[in-house]
């Protein structure tokens, strides 16, 4: 905790409260703009020649392109609806990350992811067309799924789907794209390096803690009394009130407990 406070004291000026919320809100604004001015989509393309001419803002403009394409073949109503849903999910992710990490760490994570993708697009402009604009967001979503794996989304407002499953499918799709187009693997995986840098140590700690928990559980189980915990047990046949609830038990003069059947034999055997 002290380390976190020290970090916030030194670099607190880098914190952008509600950064993901702000990006999502601007995405919705540009979504509406593109409906009326489709040609404005060109400003979101990180063209290296334009950047070298001084249009530095193109290095990050792709971040504000809507996650849902306004020109989707599924129609305007579909696009508008899912653009709104995407914004709401982004708000949720923002709040979860800031709750776990704080505003500064969340901001630094988002900055790092965006910068990594910007560098890839700058040095390999063709990757923009192949990898798309939203791989930075996938890294943010993976972080959310790691922190809240059991959170449930309702697909079409009906089918409950845990977020870890969605993230796993997205990860498999990402790996599949790398296999199909290995030349663009760096473009696909670049932004995910930031996520993996944080998630890998967390996974290692989880596996270690799980191993320790397994050892503690084994010790606990080994310390428990073996066998059934019963009130009555026949000294002759070993039956108990659990193995045969219909049995009655008595204590013989020899001090041992028997079921009625073997009690008679015990009495005969002990008779003078």
160, β-bridge pairs: 154
Residue 272 has a pLDDT of: 38
Neighbour-count burial of 5, counting CB atoms closer than 10 A to its CB (0-12 exposed, 13-18 middle, 19+ buried): exposed
Confidence at 269, pLDDT banded by 50, 70, 90: very low
Is the pLDDT at 92 greater than 90? The verdict is: yes
**What is the average per-residue pLDDT within 150-172?**
87
CA distance 79 to 272: 98
Lowest average pLDDT, out of 78-87, 115-124, 136-145, 217-226, goes to 217-226
pTM passes above 0.75: no
3-state secondary structure of 258: strand
Whether 149 and 163 have beta carbons less than 8 Å apart is answered as yes
Higher pLDDT, residue 262 or 138: 138
Higher pLDDT, residue 60 or 46: 60
CA distance 212 to 154: 35
**What is the average per-residue pLDDT within 240-258?**
76
14-45 pLDDT per residue, tens: 888 999 999 999 989 888 888 888 877 777 77
Query: What residues does each domain of the chain span?
Result: 9-216, 230-272
Question: What are the backbone angles phi and psi of residue 155, rounded to the nearest 5°?
Answer: -65, 125
CA distance 32 to 80: 9
| Tokens of residue 215, six digits | 């050892």
CA distance 218 to 113: 42
Residue 223 has a pLDDT of: 55
Residue 8 has a pLDDT of: 67
Share of the chain above pLDDT 70, in %: 79
| Tokens of residue 116, six digits | 């990594």
Neighbour-count burial of 227, counting CB atoms closer than 10 A to its CB (0-12 exposed, 13-18 middle, 19+ buried): exposed
């Amino acid at each position: 905790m002290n380390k976190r406070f020290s970090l916030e004291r030194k670099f607190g000026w880098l914190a952008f409260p509600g950064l993901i919320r702000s990006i999502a809100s601007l995405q919705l604004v540009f979504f509406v703009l593109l409906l009326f001015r489709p040609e404005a989509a060109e400003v979101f393309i990180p063209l290296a020649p334009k950047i070298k001419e001084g249009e530095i803002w193109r290095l990050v403009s792709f971040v504000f392109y809507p996650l849902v394409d306004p020109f989707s073949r599924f129609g305007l109503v579909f696009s508008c609806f899912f653009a709104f849903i995407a914004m709401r999910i982004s708000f949720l992710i923002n709040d979860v990350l800031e709750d776990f990490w704080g505003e500064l760490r969340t901001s630094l994570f988002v900055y790092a992811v965006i910068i990594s993708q910007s560098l890839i697009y700058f040095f390999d402009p063709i990757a923009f067309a192949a990898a798309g604009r939203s791989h930075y967001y996938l890294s943010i979503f993976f972080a959310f799924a790691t922190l809240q794996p059991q959170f449930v989304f309702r697909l079409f407002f009906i089918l409950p789907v845990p977020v870890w499953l969605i993230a796993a499918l997205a990860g498999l799709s990402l790996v599949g794209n790398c296999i199909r187009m290995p030349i663009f693997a760096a473009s696909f995986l670049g932004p995910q390096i930031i996520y993996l840098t944080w998630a890998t140590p967390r996974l290692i700690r989880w596996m270690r803690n799980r191993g320790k928990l397994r050892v503690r559980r084994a010790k606990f189980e080994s310390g428990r009394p073996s066998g059934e915990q019963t009130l009555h047990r026949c000294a002759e046949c070993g039956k108990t009130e659990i193995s045969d609830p219909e049995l009655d038990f008595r204590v013989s003069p020899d001090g041992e407990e028997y079921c009625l059947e073997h009690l008679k034999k015990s009495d005969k055997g002990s008779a003078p």
